[in-house]
Structure 1
Amino acid sequence: MQDYLLRATALNGKVRAFAILTKQLVEELRSRHQTTPTATAALGRTASAAAMMGAMLKGDERLTVQVKGGGPIGQIVVDADARGEVRGYVGNPDVDLPLNAVGKLDVAGAVGTDGFLYVTKDLGLKEPYSGSIPIISGELAEDFTYYFAKSEQTPSAVALGVLVDVDYTVKTAGGFIVQLLPGLTDKEISEIEQQLSQIPPITTLLERGEDLESILKTLLPDVQILERREDVRFQCKCSRDRVERTMISLGRAELESLLEEEGRAELVCHFCNEKYQFTGDDLRELIQQL
């Protein structure tokens, strides 16, 4: 099934919800960065959350999520925008830990809990919006829940999951965000909390074939689907032209030194692992532009 995202509402607009299937997106990230299962799960959970947060934006707005928990995975960085375009990477794609106490991939052990989760939004204003929270779990869903409560003052429930197959490919991935808006009664909040406490893990639901519509219906019986988007995908912003401009920004002395000492250059994009090769002639052409 193709990746897609749902935007929904319930209880007369007093609840808003997002749900996403990201199997293809997370597999693309895994394939490009050759991540271990634990790194795949950490990067995939972050990418799923960022993609849903991107769907909360408009037009050319975009955001960057950084997770720096002090663990062996290093930092996790994911960009997402309002058009469904997502890219990301982890500092150490080779991190490999034993399963945790309940027999699951030890995402928290890889991420760590000695650091912060940062969200930076480019909303087209003079200064970007930035918010951050201390990492409280390292499992990431709980950390995004805490972020919404503390940085955006919106009580939310976040579920994220990545199921990795025996051959290390992504079997399924996705998540949901349920946000409680002003006007809810204590009884309504209690009913939603009860449904959230009883629902199985998101990967369990997706693996047994449930679609996002039925998952949201289980959580919010009166849910109304406002939008179904099938434009969620991996998309990097890098290009040969952008890389050339980066090279030129190094300055004449640096480029001449590179030409003399190496005779060539190679730049690799963090986000997509694309390699850009520059021969000696390429470097001379760049120097002539300075």
Structure 2
Amino acid sequence: MKDYMVRVVARYENVRGMACVTTGLVREACLRHDAYPTAAVALGRALTGGALMGALTKTGQRTALKFEGNGPIGKIIVEADSDGSVRGYAGNPHVDLPPADGRFDVAGAVGRAGFLTVTRDLHMKEPYRGIVRLYTSEIAEDIAFYLLESEQIPSAVGLGVSAGPSGITAAGGFLIQTLPPADEAVIETLARRIKTLPSVTEMLQGGLAPEGIIDTIFKDIPVDVLEKRELAFRCACSRGRMEKALIALGRKELETLIETQEPVTLTCEFCRKPYSFAADAIQGLIDDLSRA
């Protein structure tokens, strides 16, 4: 199954929803970062949550999520564009903890004390930034808590990632939101239904596509499909961006770098792609600084 998302709105109620499968992009991210099982599940949940959050923005906008707790994983950074491009990394991808209650100990890896920061680049003068304390450090509940506390939108978020000896076997999620004026009876119906759902990974492994997850949640509530969107792990890094990063070091630091005449390699944090700069290339950047 290719990675994609379905976005719907209830026909007669102020409720919107989306569901996605992200197995491929999560697998690629975890392979690129050599993520150990617990870190892979945590990163996969964050990537899937980022994809869902990215779908709430308009064309050309970007959403960034930073989970930063006191656990061994350090931080998880995810960026999602409105076109379905998602990328991310974990500060320490080599985290694998014993199971907690038979499940991956994501909360232990992230740490139960910390913050979730959400930044939205809306192409205004300054990006919008919201910060909340981590609620459970399980990722899904933290995103739902952020949406309620910072954006005042009641939301239900479900995220699932299954990892085995061969790597990521399933990943996906859903996001359901109620908008004012809300029908309390409909909200209660959806809330009860979501509480009794199988896990996201169980639904995916049972053969449900995003449309099937939506049908299971909304059941007898008619919905209209607004969009089907492909999702993929895509990075925005480039040699030009890396040149800007070098220039930001300043002239003196660049001069120090070329003293040995050895190439300098910068590696993208998101996709791990290396960019090598020979001494003459760095000298060219110094010359550009001088002309500027």
* TM-score of the alignment, normalized to the shorter chain, above 0.5: yes
Letter aligned with residue 53 of structure 1: M
Match of 2:198 in 1: 200
Q: Tell me the alpha carbon deviations over residues 31-61 of structure 1, each in whole angstroms, 9 at most, x when there is no partner.
A: 1111011111111111111111111111211
Give 1:230 deviation, angstroms. 3.8
Q: What secondary structure is seen at the aligned counterpart in 2 of 1:96?
A: coil
Give 1:225 deviation, angstroms. 4.0
Q: Is this contact kept in 2: 1:6–1:225, CA < 8 A?
A: no
Match of 2:80 in 1: 80
Q: What secondary structure is seen at the aligned counterpart in 1 of 2:56?
A: coil
Letter aligned with residue 187 of structure 1: A
Give unpaired runs (5+ residues) of structure 1: none
The 10-residue stretch of structure 1 (239-248 or 218-227) with the greater mean CA deviation from structure 2: 218-227
Match of 2:31 in 1: 31
The 10-residue stretch of structure 1 (137-146 or 222-231) with the greater mean CA deviation from structure 2: 222-231
- Determine whether 1:18 maps to 2:13: no
Q: What secondary structure is seen at the aligned counterpart in 2 of 1:176?
A: strand
Q: Tell me the alpha carbon deviations over residues 17-44 of structure 1, each in whole angstroms, 9 at most, x when there is no partner.
A: 0111000110110111110111111111
Q: Is this contact kept in 2: 1:41–1:162, CA < 8 A?
A: yes
Q: Given the two structures, how large is their TM-score scaled by the length of structure 1?
A: 0.95
The 10-residue stretch of structure 1 (16-25 or 262-271) with the greater mean CA deviation from structure 2: 262-271
Aligned ranges 1:123-134 → 2 under 5 Å: 123-134=122-133
Letter aligned with residue 180 of structure 2: P
Match of 1:172 in 2: 170
Give unpaired runs (5+ residues) of structure 2: none
Match of 1:110 in 2: 109
Q: Given the two structures, how large is their TM-score scaled by the length of structure 2?
A: 0.95
Q: Is this contact kept in 1: 2:12–2:222, CA < 8 A?
A: no
Q: Residue 281 and residue 77 in structure 1: after superposition, are their counterparts in 2 closer, same or farther (change >3 A)?
A: same
Give 1:252 deviation, angstroms. 2.2
Distance 2:19 2:179 in 1: 17
Match of 1:251 in 2: 250
Give 1:13 deviation, angstroms. 3.9
The 10-residue stretch of structure 1 (218-227 or 169-178) with the greater mean CA deviation from structure 2: 218-227
Q: What secondary structure is seen at the aligned counterpart in 1 of 2:12?
A: coil
Give 1:223 deviation, angstroms. 4.0
- Determine whether 1:45 maps to 2:45: yes
Letter aligned with residue 77 of structure 1: I
Give 1:231 deviation, angstroms. 2.4
Q: Tell me the alpha carbon deviations over residues 247-272 of structure 1, each in whole angstroms, 9 at most, x when there is no partner.
A: 12322221111111463211111111
- Runs (4+) of structure 1 exceeding 6 A deviation are none
Q: How many residues align?
A: 288
Match of 2:5 in 1: 5
Distance 1:234 1:133 in 2: 27
Distance 1:262 1:118 in 2: 41
The Cα RMSD (Å) is: 1.4
Match of 1:214 in 2: 212
Give 1:284 deviation, angstroms. 2.5
Letter aligned with residue 7 of structure 1: R
Distance 1:134 1:215 in 2: 29
Aligned ranges 1:125-164 → 2 under 5 Å: 125-164=124-163
Distance 1:228 1:163 in 2: 26
Letter aligned with residue 192 of structure 1: L
Match of 2:265 in 1: 266
Task: State the identity as a percent.
Answer: 43
The 10-residue stretch of structure 1 (279-288 or 141-150) with the greater mean CA deviation from structure 2: 279-288
User: Which one of 184, 187, 209 corresponds to residue 186 of structure 1?
Assistant: 184
The 10-residue stretch of structure 1 (4-13 or 134-143) with the greater mean CA deviation from structure 2: 4-13
Match of 1:119 in 2: 118
Give 1:202 deviation, angstroms. 0.4
